[in-house]
Amino acid sequence: MSGNEISRILPAHITPRILDLLKCADGVILAGSYAVGRNISNSDVDIVIFSKKINYIYCESMCETGRNFQFIFFPYYKTPYALIKDAFNGKGIYASMFKEGRIIKDTPNKILTRMQRYMRSCQEHRNKCEDLALIHRISNALEGLNADIPEIEKLYIASEILLNTSKLLTHSYTVDGKHNARNIISDESDTEFIESYRTFVATHDATTFIRDIDSILLKFGGRQTKYTTGWVYTFPHSDNLTVFFPSHVLDSRILECIHSIENICQGCYSYVFYIGKNQAMEEGVFLFLFTPEKNMSEIIDRLNDYSSLHAGDHMKQSIRMTFPYKTFFHEGIIFGGRDNFYSFIPHFRDIWHCFSNLIENNPDQKNHAAKILSTLLLYESAKVIGTPQCKEVATELFHKLILDAADPNGLYNMLQIDDYRKGALKLYSEVYEKNLSTYRETIQGIINGEIVEIGRIRNRISRLYKLVHEIDAGASAIPDIFDSPNKHTILWMNVLDHLMSIFQLTPTEKFGIVYNFSRYIQEYDI
C-alpha cells in the first residue's frame, strides 16, 4: 500500500514521519475510537504496527500536529500466541484491537485478515479463576469497609471494589477504569452498585453499597475467602497445577527440590521445562503436575507443608518457588487444545524423566546432552514426517526463534533489529562452518545409534511424533492465524519447541540447533 493510500484512509493528522514508519511495517491496523467512529476532539490515534522486525509487544507514544499517537508494536511470529491467550481471558485488550480495528495494510498471505476473522468468531471465555481472584479481593475489601479505619481509607477501598466488581461483571480482566466504564454501559450490566457507590461517597454510609455488592457476589457463589490469591489460575478448579522457580538455570539444588515435590505428589504426571526471556511466560523453571484422579486441594496442602518445613533451607540456597503459578499453559493453547495436550503429557513426562536421569548421572554433560537430544528431535522428525515437511517445520521454527537470537533481552526496536539479525546469522554461520565435521559426526552417530546415552529416549520421541501425526488437523483447535496454513506444521513446531524446553534450552540455544539442522538438511539428504 502506498503512502497516499494510507494517508487517505488514516486520519488527516498523519505526517510524513509517521508514514515512513507505517510503510516499514508488514501490517497496520487502525484501532481504538478512530476505528469505530467514536473519536472526539482529544482522542488518541491508536495504530497497531505488525512487523517481523519486532521481538516483543510494546507501545510508543508520539505527538504530531497537536495529536497524540499511540503505536502498539506486535511481533509477527508471536502475535498468534498472544491473541489465542487473549481469547481465553474475557474481553482481552489485544482482542478488541483486532476485532474492532480497521486493517489499513495487510501481509501478502492476509494474516491480519485471518486474525481478525478468528477474533471476531471467538466466543468470549469467562475465566473462572480470574473471577475467583476478583471475588477474593472484593470479599476482603468489603471487610475493610466495616472496619474501624479512617474514612479516606474506606473511600479508596470502595473505589477498588467498584473497579473489581466492574471487571467481574464484564469479564474485562486486563483493561483500565475508563474502558471498564464503557464495557459496563455497553453490556447493559446492573449499575445499581454505581449509584450506591455515589451515595457512599456523599454520605460515608456504606450500608447500601455493601448490600449491592453482596447481591452481585451471590450470582457467583457469594463471598470467597478460601484457597485463592491473585496468582491462582488452575487451582482449585482443575486437575493440574504449576510450580514456578524463578531461576535462569536448572541446577542441582532446584533439581533436588523438584524430586522432593514429585515424591510428595506421587500418582501425578510431572515434568519440568524451562522458559527463557521475552516468551509467553516468565523466565524460569516450571514443574507441571497433572492428575485426573487425585484431590488437588490435598496436593496443595502437602506442598504448603513442604514449603513451610523447608523454607529456611531453600532461602539459604536462594531457592524461591510459587505454586500454583498463574498461567494459561494448562489450557494446552499451543498444542491445539486440552485434549491434545493431555494426550501428550505422559510422553512429556517420560522424556523428562529420561533426561533427568541422564543429567543426574552426568551433571557436567547437561548442556551437551540437551543439544544432542534436540538434534535427535529434529532428525526423528525428518524420519517420521519426511524431509520436505521437516524443512517446513524447521523454517517456521527458524523464523520464530531468530529474533530471540538477535535480541535475547528484548531491548531493541524494529529499526535496530535488522542489523542485529544480520550479525547473529553471520556468527551462527561462522560457528557452523568451523564445526561442520563435528556436526556431521554427531548426525552420523545418531543415525547409527552409536550415542549410547540417547538410546532410552529415542523410542519415546518416535511414539510422541506418531501421536502428533495421527491428530486430525481439521479437528485441532489451532486456528488459521499462523504464517503457515498447515496446522500439522504449527503443531509439530510447537511440540518441538516445547521438547527443547524440557531439555532446559534457552531460546538462543534452540535457534542454534535449528539453524545447524536447517543448514544440514539443505545440503545433505537424511
- Domain residue ranges of the chain, discontinuous segments joined by +: 3-121, 128-218, 238-331, 365-526
CATH class of 3-121: alpha beta
* Phi then psi dihedrals of residue 292, to 5 deg: -85, -5
Residue 473 has pLDDT above 80, yes or no: no
C-alpha to C-alpha distance for 145 and 150, rounded to whole angstroms: 10
CB 44, CB 34: distance < 8 Å = no
Task: Give the residue, 419 or 524, on which the prediction is more confident.
Answer: 419
CB 369, CB 362: distance < 8 Å = yes
Strands laid side by side in the 27-31 sheet? 58-64, 67-75, 45-51, 27-31, 102-105
238-331, what's its fold? Alpha-Beta Plaits (3.30.70)
CB 333, CB 85: distance < 8 Å = yes
CB 482, CB 77: distance < 8 Å = no
Write out the three cell numbers for 510. Answer: 534452540
pLDDT of residue 452: 57
Identify the band that residue 458 occupies on the pLDDT scale cut at 50, 70 and 90.
confident
Residue 455 has pLDDT above 80, yes or no: no
Task: Return the HEC string of 453-495.
Answer: HHHHHHHHHHHHHHHHHHCCHHHCCCCCCCCCCCHHHHHHHHH
Write out the three cell numbers for 210. Answer: 455493601
Residue 63 has pLDDT above 60, yes or no: yes
Parallel, antiparallel or unpaired: strands 67-75 and 58-64: antiparallel
Identify the band that residue 526 occupies on the pLDDT scale cut at 50, 70 and 90.
very low
Write out the three cell numbers for 84. Answer: 489465542
> Sign of the CA dihedral 518, 521, 524, 526?
positive
Mean pLDDT of 133-148: 90
Give the whole-number percent of the chain exceeding pLDDT 90: 35
Identify the band that residue 122 occupies on the pLDDT scale cut at 50, 70 and 90.
confident
Start-to-end Cα distance in the chain: 42
Q: Which residues contact 351 (CB under 8 A, 6 or more apart)?
A: 271, 457, 460, 461, 464, 499, 502
Mean pLDDT of 349-374: 84
